[in-house]
Amino acid sequence: MTNPLAGRTAVITGSNSGIGRATARSLAEQGVRVILAVRDLDKGRAAAAQMHGPTEVRRLDLADLSSVRDFAKAFTDPVDLLINNAGVMMQPLGRTADGFELHFGINHLGHFALSNLLLPHIRGRVVTVAAGGHRAGTLDLDDPNWEHRPYKPFAGYAQSKLANMLFTAELQRRLTAAGSDVIATVANPGLADTNLISHASSTRVRIMNALLRPLSQDEDGGAHTTLYAATADIPGNSYISPSGFLEARGLPEIAGRSKAAQDPELARRLWTLSEESTRTAFPLTMPEHPRGQR
């Protein structure tokens, strides 16, 4: 039987390690042309060398909007899947090249800009990796970059994951309004034993990580929800999460989300702020692509 994914193109951010690497490896094995969008080209090439299938490695630094723009400018061919996977977790207070707080700047604004800049080429899906931690998130649109509030690493991380959820909801609203066949989905990988918080400086975070490790999956397990969100027959704005205890692991399923993540007005306000911050916007018109490409 013909593989429906063979010959398609996927762009996956942060695909040199962890869940992104597992996602890229799985899609490449199914004949998808995978573009590993990574900050470190050497690490990206090392990861690609272990994959069986068509791969390319291109540099993308989500902490620098000029890098995001350069990356997007290189595209002329259609993209079937954009998987916004890269991220940081519970980092000490820091700033991106453009002055944004690291979690908000990398996890949300970098991917926001990338998605809008690539949308003219996308004919399938935009999948964004969020987390169950969005449930603890609050979004302060008056101080999203923690310039006035006392900074807390987990709060910064949770805010960025809530932003991922709201971004997906508003992106889907705009795609539907534009009559586009492209859909946006969001995935929670659950607990995965990866290097995501390996650079966290907080002793409390390291202790929490050690306590939760018995519930964790490996990177392949963590990629299950992303792959489901990217390929399953599901509606736009679906939130895919593990079905097991505390959404830590288990089979992918469509799950509920926090009340804040369902707030359409908050999503619109975040979109406006993100447009102003990144100087990118949803395309005025979406290109027509052959049906059946989702």
At residue 12, what is the residue type?
Answer: I
151 labelled catalytic = no
CA-nearest of 164, 153, 159, 220 to 190 is 220
Long-range contacts of 260-263 (CB under 8 A, 24+ apart): 260/137, 260/138, 260/139, 260/162, 260/166, 261/134, 261/135, 261/162, 261/165, 261/166, 261/169, 262/169, 263/166
The side-by-side arrangement of strands in the sheet containing 239-242 is 55-59, 33-38, 9-13, 79-84, 122-129, 183-187, 239-242, 252-254
Q: Which pair of tokens denotes residue 43?
A: 């690490």
Residue whose structure tokens are 């990580």: 209
CA-nearest of 240, 92, 216, 223 to 165 is 240
Question: Could you give the residue numbers annotated as active site?
Answer: 157
